[in-house]
Amino acid sequence: MNVSVLSILFMLLGTAAVAAIIGFIVIALIQVAREPRLPPVLTVCWVIVLVGFPIGGTLVWFGFGHEINRRILADT
């Protein structure tokens, strides 16, 4: 079986991309769990979003999550 250098490179890049995505999801879940003023219901909602939509949910959390939480908590 002849494995080309290009296919090895693609496998390594794919593995690195998957590892990075999983790492970002884990970091986002840790941040949600450690958010001090976040009500339990909102924490569960964020976990569902992060697990259900891993890439989009993580992007929303890192891009807008803290601002969304601040606005929700300001209204209560």
- pLDDT tens digit string along 9-64? 999 999 999 999 999 999 999 999 998 888 899 899 999 999 999 999 999 999 88
pLDDT level of residue 1 (50, 70, 90 thresholds): low
**Residue whose entry in the numeric block shows the structure tokens 């593995």:** 15
Q: Return the domain boundaries, the chain.
A: 5-75
User: Which region, left, alpha or beta, applies to residue 74 given φ > 0 means left and ψ of -120 to 50 means alpha?
Assistant: alpha
Q: Tabulate helix, strand, coil % of the chain (nearest 5).
A: 85, 0, 15
Taking each helix axis from N to C end, the angle separating 5-34 and 40-52, rounded to the nearest 10 degrees, works out to: 170
